[in-house]
Structure 1
Amino acid sequence: MRAASKRNQRREINKIVGVYALFGSAWIYLSGYALIWLVSDRHIAEQIEVYKGLMFIMVTSALLYQLISRFAGRLAESVDRLEQSEARFQAIYHNVNDALFIHDATTGQLVDVNRTMCEMYGYTPEEARDLTVEELSLGEPPYTEADARHLLQQAAAGPPMTVRWRSKKKDGSLFWSEINLRRADIGGNDRIIVMVRDITARHEIEEALQQNEEILKVLMEEMPAGVGWADESGRIQYLNSYVSDWLGYVSDDHPTLEQLMERALPDPTYRDRVLAVWHDELAKTLESGVPVTPQEAKISCVDGSSKHIILNTRLVHHRILFTLTDITKWEAMQRELLKAQKLESLGVLAGGIAHDFNNILTGILGNLSFAELLLDPDHPAQGPVKNAEKASQRAAELAHQLLTFSKGGQPIKKVVPLGRLLQEALSLSLHGTKVQTRLELQDGLHAIEADEGQMNQAFSNVIINACQAMPGGGVLTVIAQNAPLPAGNDLGLAPGDYVKISFIDQGCGIPYEDQKLIFDPYYSTKPGGSGLGLASVHSIVIKHGGRVEVASKPGAGTTLTFYLPSVGEVVPEEEAPQPERPGKPGEGTVLVMDDEEAIRTLTRDMLQYLGYQVVTCADGEEAVRLYREAAQAGKPFAVAIMDLTIPAGMGGKEAAQQILAFDPAARLIVSSGYSNDPVMAEHADYGFCAAVIKPYRCDELQQALERVLSKP
């Protein structure tokens, strides 16, 4: 600006001198020639010459006055404009929101600061000009004086630059600042203008946003669902680890939505059907703004498994946000819950039916076994009686299967070597069939704690099903091995030691739609099938704290896998019990309590045949009265056999408590058709010496009495 002002001044001065020289030259030249032409007298000419000089001085003085006045006015206007410009500059310089530092570009020395700098840092202008960069900075790398001087050198040699700096105020407090460095020529001097902006609030917001982004990322990674989003072009911008693990992507992969769907839904027909519905829903959302309806689909994972998912989609800020919720386990749990509810409902009905049925069977089977004892071995009726007894035993087994579902029924557990159980089940169930067996037992196979009868029934049902699936013969492979399960396993079982038993057949397989139903009661794909076989298997395994799984493909065989809790160690085989010798004739009086008259009569006849005296009654109140009266008369009962359940009356459990209250040494035997009742499973805990399960035979009743009477 000063250079332009100087040029204007020189131009004005040159103009004044030029006008004066031109006027003077024209005056002298023209007035001299005019005097020669007009005056010939020399004396007059000299006098005119004097007046002409005076006139020249007056005219040129007036001309100079006008020119100099004009020049002075313009000069005053320029100075005024310059002062106004300087005032505006100072107002801007000192009132901007950013602190300004002016450094010498060569030495880096601080030359000037604005008033905002003083307010921002807390220094006076005089103090500020003597400050070093070190005093205005954190003083630790990368915010030291050396780092600052390096930045000044870069700005002096190159284009403008912006950096983030940790600044320090006079009171020692620190704040984040954004520094812009620019080279400039000020008054012919090479300077560096440094503009400092306090960005503490912005930095805190950025840090909060970064923390929120990290929290959101962690949340997305920890969510028990697949999450991702794509831009408007369909390019995937983010996939969490669930989707990546399911579909085999890594963090650097950014597929398109189309590529992701091709991998997740490899079947073109199924994929087109799913995507058609999805695109229609997206179009409705874009048109009317209604939320996208969740959609179910089955995706294929990179490990070969499939997952049933719920696809939820949202359109947010020109992005397509989608979540894939895996409901595979939830569906399995729902199926198990529904199955348990069905079994519970069935159990209420089955328990009542089986109890009454067992009472009837007790009369039939007991009388048949009693008749067998009364007949001579060579009597022609022995064959029909034995056949009827076998048929009754088969009916009893059916009742036992029904009782497997009864509500509250608990298995009578004991430690059993698993290998022996499997060998017995295979030997009995495969006898007379064309099926070969291959039994593979792991060395050191752990024993299980189970109801031997129930578990044998479960294994036999599976083996029989496998045989029926291979009518032309084949190989049934049974593999048993230890299988400890960690916490959070996919089976939903408690962590601990388990054994895994797999039954692998070479049969026709099970269609996928039937696999979900094979454990349902009364569901059967076989003509004439009862549908209780695998339902019993499922109920038995669940009551033992285990799980049974099915895997099958049509035409490729079926694998049924048991997971059963183990005792965590190998248990040696027990020696086979020696057959009991026939007991001597019974002695003493036996009290029989049962609500069924036919059973009371049968039991009385059998006991009398065995040599006992018998007293019968119909309910617990009468049994307690008779027992008390006999004890008071000095003729106590040797044994009391009491039915566990008496409809609308006192049962054996309550009656036993009252009898033991006044005779702790009473010998009590509990009898019931509910073979899985907790009292039958743990009869000793309720004061009974033995338990007899209906329907019972004469020899079973005799053995129970002998065991009880032989104890002190």
Structure 2
Amino acid sequence: MRAASKKRQRREINKIVGVYALFGSAWIYLSGYALIWLVSDREVAEQIEVYKGLMFIMVTSALLYQLISRFAGRLAESVDRLEESEARFQAIYHNVNDALFIHDAATGQLVDVNRTMCEMFGYTPEEVRGLSVGELSLGEPPYAEADARLLLQQAAGPPRTVRWRSRKKDGSLFWSEVSLRRADIGGSDRVIVLVRDITARHEMEEALQQNEEILKVLMEEMPAGVGWADESGRVQYINSYVSDWLGYVSEDHPTLEELMERALPDRAYREQVLGCWREEIANTLRSGVPVTPQEAKISCADGSSKHIILNTRLVHHRILFTLTDITKWEAMQRELLKAQKLESLGVLAGGIAHDFNNILTGILGNLSFAELLLDPDHPARGAVQNAEKASQRAAELAHQLLTFSKGGQPIKKVVPLERLLQESLNLALHGTKVQTRLNLQAGLHAIEADEGQMNQAFNNVIINACQAMPGGGVLTVAAENAPLQAGNDLGLPPGDYVKVSFIDQGCGIPYDDQKLVFDPYYSTKPGGSGLGLASVHSIVIKHGGRVEVSSPPGTGTTLTFYLPSAGQAVPEEAPPQPEVPGKPGEGSVLVMDDEEAIRTLTRDMLQYLGYQVVTCVNGEEAVRLYREAVQAGKPFAVAIMDLTIPAGMGGKEAAQQILALDPTARLIVSSGYSNDPVMAQHNDYGFCAAVVKPYRCDELQQALERVLSRP
């Protein structure tokens, strides 16, 4: 700007000099010739020359005055404009919101700053002159003096903008944005540095970054699959749940169509789901109503299937989708409903089985008694035996019903699992075409179980497997130790378990039927029904375990047990030695039962065996009769007492009172609840033996022989 002003001044001066030279030359030349032509007298010519010189001085003075006055006016006008421009520049320079530094490009020394810099950094203009770039920075790499000087040296290239940690006079630090540009100022090579305080913006960016990190962590930790896609359908983000389910990695960005194709490989099913989904999205775009959640079954990369709820939201030109896995919840709901069904059935089954066993006791007992009274060649003996076998099958049904009742709680003890499996396989597969393949882990733990109930559960599963392979096949039984951690997928408490799998080669079970196989009286066989797998489910649940079914159609069925482990393997027990029955002693027997038919039957059988019999209805009467017998010096040899008496004292309470009268009393407990703890552990309650209803005459005789043969 200054060079342009000097150039304009030189141009004006040259113009004045040129005009003056031109006018002077023209005056001298023209006036000289005119004088020669017009005046011939020399004296007159000399006088005119004097006046002509005076005239030249006056005219040229006036001309110079005019030219110089115009030049001076223009010069003053330029000075005014320059002063106004300078004032405007200073006003802008000192009042911008950003701090301005002017550095010497060669040395990096601070040449000038604006007023904003003084206000921003807290220095006075006098203090600024002695500052170095290091004193205005954090002072530590990458914001040290050496780093700042390097930036000043690199300013020779294109303009740069960096984020810097600046320091004020009071030592406080703030984040700044520094822009550097090299420029020629007054012929000097300078670096102009603009510093903008971005503390608020930096805090907002940090808050935004933290929110994004929190959102990302939240998305990753959500117990659901989350993702979103842009308007073109390109998936921009999916969390780890979706990645793990469908086998993607974080760098993958499939389209929604590709994602759905992998999740729903069956084309017809995929078109059905996607058709409803697209229709819902189109309806949302038209009317603004939220997209209705949809259910779908997706196929995972590991081969498993998940039942999910697909929720969709349209947010800022994005399609946000959430896949909520309800597979476990659905299974839990099924288990809860199943437990409620079984509990309701158990209440009914317990009452029915108890009454049924009492009735069967009268039937089976009388049939066995009649068999004793008949001659071996009597024509009715075969019919009696057939009726007795039918009654035994009815008793087995009652025993299954008891599995569901509250009286069917297992009496657990440590049982070797390998022996249980071998016994069940030998019994259930006898006479079938099915072969067995056993895969048992070395050091397989024993289980805590009711041996009878667990045998029943295994037998039911093996029988089902045989029925699924009528033409023969291989039943694979695998068992291994399976410790479970807290929060496992099975919903079981953490601890040691044993996993037992029964794998057949049958035709499999349709998916919809798999949810019903544990329901009472449900069967996949045409015309079939029963309590088989329902009993299995009830037994395993009461043992604190879990049973699951897996059956891809056409590839066989796998039933898997998870049973609480005893924590170690146990050696096989020696088989019990058969008891040698002794001769029944003589004496009287007290029989307590609320059923008249059972009292009459038991009395007749005992009298047939040679005993004297006294009967009563409840525990109160039994205690009274026993007390009277003791006082008379003729105590009963044996007392047979029913465990459960409705609206009266049962055998357990009566036994305590009788033992208080006579600690040597021989007591036998009788009940239709074969799995009642008192029946299983009768010695702990003061009884010498237990007979399960319905009982036969020979079973009652054996119980009496064992009791009376003891000291």
TM-score, scaled to structure 2? 0.93
Q: Report the secondary structure of 1:576's partner residue.
A: coil
Aligned position for 1:110: 110
- 1:549 positional shift: 2.3
Contact kept, 8 Å, 1:411 with 1:681, in 2: the verdict is: no
More divergent stretch after superposition (669-678 vs 340-349):
669-678
Contact kept, 8 Å, 1:627 with 1:637, in 2: the verdict is: yes
CA–CA distance in structure 2, aligned partners of residues 540 and 13 of structure 1? 121
- 1:68 positional shift: 2.1
Q: Report the secondary structure of 2:444's partner residue.
A: coil
- 1:433 positional shift: 2.9
- 1:555 positional shift: 4.0
Aligned position for 2:72: 72
- 1:658 positional shift: 5.4
Q: Report the secondary structure of 1:481's partner residue.
A: strand
Q: Kindly report which structure 2 residues correspond to 1:391-470, keeping only aligned pairs within 5 A, or say none.
A: 391-407=390-406, 409-470=408-469
Q: Kindly report which structure 2 residues correspond to 1:125-144, keeping only aligned pairs within 5 A, or say none.
A: 125-144=125-144
CA distance 1:396–1:120, change in 2 (3 Å) = same
Aligned position for 2:473: 474
Q: Report the secondary structure of 1:357's partner residue.
A: helix
Q: Establish whether residue 17 from structure 1 lines up as the match of residue 17 from structure 2.
A: yes
- 1:160 positional shift: 0.9
1:196-217 alpha-carbon deviations (Å, 9 max, x no partner): 1222222222222222222222
Q: Kindly report which structure 2 residues correspond to 1:278-317, keeping only aligned pairs within 5 A, or say none.
A: 278-317=277-316
Q: Establish whether residue 524 from structure 1 lines up as the match of residue 523 from structure 2.
A: yes
Q: Report the secondary structure of 2:97's partner residue.
A: coil
Q: Establish whether residue 231 from structure 1 lines up as the match of residue 200 from structure 2.
A: no
CA distance 1:636–1:227, change in 2 (3 Å) = same
Aligned position for 1:510: 509
CA–CA distance in structure 1, aligned partners of residues 588 and 316 of structure 2? 91
CA–CA distance in structure 1, aligned partners of residues 710 and 3 of structure 2? 131
Aligned position for 2:699: 700
CA–CA distance in structure 1, aligned partners of residues 494 and 535 of structure 2? 25
- 1:667 positional shift: 5.0
- 1:130 positional shift: 0.8
CA–CA distance in structure 2, aligned partners of residues 133 and 634 of structure 1? 119
**Partner letter of residue 672 of structure 1?**
S
Q: Percent identity?
A: 90
**Partner letter of residue 343 of structure 1?**
L
Q: Establish whether residue 603 from structure 1 lines up as the match of residue 635 from structure 2.
A: no
Aligned position for 1:8: 8
Aligned position for 1:175: 174
- 1:637 positional shift: 4.4
CA–CA distance in structure 2, aligned partners of residues 395 and 89 of structure 1? 112
- Please list every run of 5 or more consecutive structure 2 residues that lacks an aligned counterpart in the other structure: none
1:391-444 alpha-carbon deviations (Å, 9 max, x no partner): 111100001111111146301222222222222222222333333334444433
CA distance 1:256–1:40, change in 2 (3 Å) = same
CA–CA distance in structure 1, aligned partners of residues 655 and 53 of structure 2? 163
1:285-323 alpha-carbon deviations (Å, 9 max, x no partner): 222222111111122222222222211111222222112
Contact kept, 8 Å, 1:641 with 1:669, in 2: the verdict is: yes
**Partner letter of residue 94 of structure 1?**
H
CA–CA distance in structure 2, aligned partners of residues 175 and 17 of structure 1? 62
CA distance 1:631–1:130, change in 2 (3 Å) = farther
Aligned position for 2:271: 272
CA–CA distance in structure 2, aligned partners of residues 131 and 327 of structure 1? 68
CA–CA distance in structure 1, aligned partners of residues 229 and 646 of structure 2? 69
1:461-510 alpha-carbon deviations (Å, 9 max, x no partner): 22222222233333333333333334433333333333333323333332
Q: Report the secondary structure of 1:134's partner residue.
A: coil
Q: Report the secondary structure of 1:140's partner residue.
A: coil
Q: Establish whether residue 166 from structure 1 lines up as the match of residue 165 from structure 2.
A: yes
CA distance 1:231–1:661, change in 2 (3 Å) = farther
Contact kept, 8 Å, 1:624 with 1:658, in 2: the verdict is: yes
Q: Report the secondary structure of 2:61's partner residue.
A: helix
- 1:640 positional shift: 3.8
Aligned position for 2:146: 146
Q: Kindly report which structure 2 residues correspond to 1:268-667, keeping only aligned pairs within 5 A, or say none.
A: 268-377=267-376, 379-407=378-406, 409-631=408-630, 635-656=634-655
1:548-596 alpha-carbon deviations (Å, 9 max, x no partner): 2223344433332222222132222222222222233245544332221
TM-score, scaled to structure 1? 0.93
CA–CA distance in structure 2, aligned partners of residues 555 and 249 of structure 1? 30
CA distance 1:163–1:686, change in 2 (3 Å) = farther
**Partner letter of residue 83 of structure 1?**
E
Contact kept, 8 Å, 1:586 with 1:610, in 2: the verdict is: no
Q: Establish whether residue 89 from structure 1 lines up as the match of residue 89 from structure 2.
A: yes
CA distance 1:85–1:412, change in 2 (3 Å) = same
Contact kept, 8 Å, 1:509 with 1:556, in 2: the verdict is: yes
More divergent stretch after superposition (573-582 vs 626-635):
626-635
CA distance 1:24–1:97, change in 2 (3 Å) = same
- 1:620 positional shift: 3.3
- 1:534 positional shift: 1.4
CA–CA distance in structure 2, aligned partners of residues 665 and 47 of structure 1? 184
- 1:104 positional shift: 0.7
More divergent stretch after superposition (694-703 vs 293-302):
694-703
Contact kept, 8 Å, 1:458 with 1:537, in 2: the verdict is: yes
CA–CA distance in structure 1, aligned partners of residues 576 and 385 of structure 2? 25
1:166-212 alpha-carbon deviations (Å, 9 max, x no partner): 22222222222211111011111000011112222222222222222
Total equivalences in the alignment: 711
CA–CA distance in structure 2, aligned partners of residues 678 and 45 of structure 1? 166
Q: Report the secondary structure of 2:270's partner residue.
A: helix
- 1:245 positional shift: 1.6
CA–CA distance in structure 1, aligned partners of residues 127 and 643 of structure 2? 104
**Partner letter of residue 451 of structure 1?**
D
More divergent stretch after superposition (557-566 vs 245-254):
557-566
CA distance 1:84–1:642, change in 2 (3 Å) = farther
Contact kept, 8 Å, 1:592 with 1:614, in 2: the verdict is: yes
More divergent stretch after superposition (397-406 vs 135-144):
135-144
Aligned position for 2:124: 124
**Partner letter of residue 449 of structure 1?**
E
- 1:615 positional shift: 2.8
RMSD: 2.6
Contact kept, 8 Å, 1:520 with 1:531, in 2: the verdict is: no
Contact kept, 8 Å, 2:584 with 2:708, in 1: the verdict is: no
Contact kept, 8 Å, 1:426 with 1:460, in 2: the verdict is: yes
CA distance 1:88–1:642, change in 2 (3 Å) = farther
Aligned position for 1:187: 186
Contact kept, 8 Å, 1:510 with 1:552, in 2: the verdict is: yes
- 1:677 positional shift: 3.5
CA–CA distance in structure 2, aligned partners of residues 589 and 89 of structure 1? 131
- 1:359 positional shift: 0.7
1:503-548 alpha-carbon deviations (Å, 9 max, x no partner): 2333333223222211111112334433211111111122122222
CA–CA distance in structure 2, aligned partners of residues 499 and 508 of structure 1? 27
CA distance 1:508–1:264, change in 2 (3 Å) = closer
